[in-house]
């Protein structure tokens, strides 16, 4: 049985006519040659979101620039980064990379001076690289932090925590836990400063 592979060096597909090969190319490379005159040309997939970022990465101004494409339930835009294997990232992070370059480290996050990242802002003037701690401090300052009682599963309020701190060590941790209907470990985390420390630091 005759064997004939595609003449493109990196391709091992069949170039036989029975497999739709022609002119020494496999079917795929023949179609590329026929359409573009070059079997190596790959048609780029249109990406309106990426093109929009490229068109706005030099945007400047005091007002927020709202992401016009997909917005996740958390309020942040999402975009595929063409320069990183089309990975899906927050649109603000992709914009910051394009406008100001890569982050100083893999742990750095895209932060917003306007505090409106959760409203889809991608204005390059409002974006900067921050450590997780700096970004969290920004969220607290802007009132967008989900820590403490703003977490959906939190059973305690800030005033509860302050009261708990005042009760210990006059009361045992398990007694306090029972009165607040929480686990003893929750009380332990509060009195040792592992949780809610920002209230009394």
| Residues 71, 48: Cα–Cα separation, whole Å | 15
What pLDDT, on a 0 to 100 scale, did the predictor assign at position 136?
A: 77
pLDDT tens for 44-54 read: 666 899 999 99
What six digits make up the tokens of 19? Answer: 């497999």
What pLDDT, on a 0 to 100 scale, did the predictor assign at position 20?
A: 85
What pLDDT, on a 0 to 100 scale, did the predictor assign at position 1?
A: 42
Enter the DSSP assignment of 80: E
Whether 132 contacts 147, CB under 8 Å: no
pTM above 0.85, yes or no: no
Q: Using alpha carbons only, how large is the chain's radius of gyration in Å?
A: 28
* Low-confidence stretches of the chain (pLDDT beneath 70): 1-3, 43-46, 143-154, 197-201
What six digits make up the tokens of 167? Answer: 């009760």
């Amino acid at each position: 049985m005759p064997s004939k592979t595609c003449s493109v060096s990196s391709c091992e597909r069949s170039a036989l006519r029975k497999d739709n090969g022609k002119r020494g190319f496999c079917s795929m490379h023949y179609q590329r040659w026929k359409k573009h005159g070059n079997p190596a040309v790959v048609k780029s997939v249109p990406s309106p979101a990426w093109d929009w970022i490229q068109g706005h990465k030099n945007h400047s101004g005091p007002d927020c620039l709202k992401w016009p494409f997909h917005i996740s339930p958390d309020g942040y835009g999402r975009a595929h980064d063409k320069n990183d294997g089309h990975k899906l990232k927050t649109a603000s992070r992709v914009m910051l990379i394009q406008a100001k370059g890569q982050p100083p480290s893999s742990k750095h996050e895209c932060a917003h001076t306007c505090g409106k990242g959760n409203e889809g802002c991608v204005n390059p003037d409002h974006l900067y690289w921050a450590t997780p701690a700096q970004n969290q401090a920004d969220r607290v300052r802007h009132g967008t932090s989900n820590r403490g009682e703003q977490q959906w599963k939190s059973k305690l309020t800030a005033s509860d925590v302050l009261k708990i701190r005042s009760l210990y060590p006059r009361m045992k941790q398990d007694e306090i836990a029972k009165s607040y209907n929480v686990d003893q470990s929750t009380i332990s985390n509060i009195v040792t400063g592992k949780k809610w420390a920002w209230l009394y630091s």
